[in-house]
Amino acid sequence: MRRAVITGLGPLTPIGLGAEAFHKAQLAGQSGVRRITRFDASSLPVQIAAEVDVNPEDYLDKKELRRLDRFVQYALIAAELALKDAGLEPEKLNPERVGTLVGTGIGGMETWEAQSKVFLEKGPNRISPFFIPMMIANMASAHIAMRYGFHGPSSTVVTACATGSDAIGNALRMIQLGEADIVLAGGTEAAITPMAIGAFGVMRALSTRNEEPEKASRPFTRSRDGFVMGEGAGVLVVEEYEHAKRRGARIYAELIGFGRSADAHHITEPHPEGLGAALAMERALKDAGVAPEQVGYINAHGTSTPVGDRAEVLAIKRVFGDHARRLMVSSTKSMIGHLLGAAGAVEAIATVQALHHGVIPPTLNLEDPDPELDLDFVPFTPREAKVDYALSNSFAFGGQNAVLLFKRV
């Protein structure tokens, strides 16, 4: 069977732009959570988020920017970073053998809010003709393909918080089936808007620790009170192994397993015993032919919600048994918040970097660990450890679960 490897990383995150900056920020234990600056959030119960610091004009033409929602802008920047990191020159590739698969959980929320206001205040004739093509979810993948002239498979995954992982897993299948030799895969999200923060807030899904933003995202603690909204994008170059080998590419890791499942339980809450999450992890291991005891690290979904963290720990214990105590488990969300549709992709990048560099990123803010959640969460500081196999977990609203399994090269 054709093999898939990771040869390029394009993270656009609240703590770093590009592979090197993102990796250094993780090892420094930086938090990207701050008080919201994009709009006046003073009237909202939730006033904190993890915003990215990037000037899109450094990457995209001003005229082009006016016709692109922020979630597409982020995807285009992340794709450029990934291609450069992989040492790929798009004009020298066979365009029919390059695919694009970048998903989003929410899509053009910023455009939707702005144009809704225009509609209500000025009527339908004043709506921008670019409203629909700016808002719809498939435009991240579509614009990447158009920008570089890639004619391979181009599609979009929308599975809420599992989107990024599902996109990368589907890229693995594209490679295995021979549909492409290279796939730009990942997720993007730009949902730090008044409507989104307000809506997630009234669901009581978000942390209200407004006076301590950097302490707000605190997975696996007794005092966790919800996730912190993040934004950004993650794009990975998923490449067929022989293709990468022929061009002398640097290989970060091999993508060897993909598992998915449905909780079929509740619109927002995971199964209380983590049954769906466990099934997805088991399927990823089975897909790769890897025993649970071979896995050394799990990049957890770890959102910092009371029910979510508990269910994930129960799922890990169900799958790994006694070996769960020997696993290292950490949550990237403790640093960057929850990037929704981009979360799985950015966390996959963190997982790949952990394997490649031999350093496990930490979980921040574990001052008061929940005694019921008793795994090794790598608290506060990174840990040097050579690990051969690592999982990256993503579990979404609606009970849609996706798990990726990577192997150290």
Residue 358 pLDDT grade (very low, low, confident, very high; cuts 50, 70, 90): very high
Q: What is the mean pLDDT of residues 171-199?
A: 98
In a domain, 361, yes or no: yes
* Contacts of 243 by beta carbon, 8 Å cutoff, 6+ apart: 181, 182
Render pLDDT for 307-329 as a digit per residue (tens, 0 to 9): 999 999 999 999 999 999 999 99
Same domain, 195 and 279: no
Q: Say how far residue 32 (Cα) sits from the centre of its chain.
A: 15
In a domain, 213, yes or no: yes
What total number of domains does the chain contain? 2
In a domain, 308, yes or no: yes
Given 187, 217, 246, the domain boundary residue is: 246
Q: What is the mean pLDDT of residues 207-223?
A: 98
In a domain, 41, yes or no: yes
Give the pLDDT score at 119: 97
Same domain, 21 and 143: yes
Same domain, 242 and 386: no
In a domain, 252, yes or no: no
Average pLDDT, the chain: 97
Same domain, 238 and 332: no
Share of the chain above pLDDT 90, in %: 100
Give the pLDDT score at 252: 98
Residue 356 pLDDT grade (very low, low, confident, very high; cuts 50, 70, 90): very high
pTM of the model: 0.98
Render pLDDT for 254-291 as a digit per residue (tens, 0 to 9): 999 999 999 999 999 999 999 999 999 999 999 999 99
Render pLDDT for 381-399 as a digit per residue (tens, 0 to 9): 999 999 999 999 999 999 9
Given 199, 221, 246, the domain boundary residue is: 246
Give the pLDDT score at 337: 98
In a domain, 277, yes or no: yes
Give the pLDDT score at 62: 92
Give the pLDDT score at 408: 98
Given 196, 222, 246, the domain boundary residue is: 246
* Contacts of 372 by beta carbon, 8 Å cutoff, 6+ apart: 310, 313
Same domain, 154 and 271: no
Residues with a catalytic annotation lie at: 161
CA distance 26 to 381: 9
3-state secondary structure 340-402: HHHHHHHHHHHHHHHHHHCEECCECCCCCECCCCCCECCECCCEECCCCEEEEEEECHHHEEE
CA distance 382 to 183: 31
In a domain, 251, yes or no: no
Render pLDDT for 133-175 as a digit per residue (tens, 0 to 9): 999 999 999 999 999 999 999 999 999 999 999 999 999 999 9
In a domain, 355, yes or no: yes
Same domain, 308 and 201: no
The CATH code of the domain that includes 290 is 3.40.47.10
Same domain, 233 and 291: no
What is the residue range of 213's domain?
A: 4-246
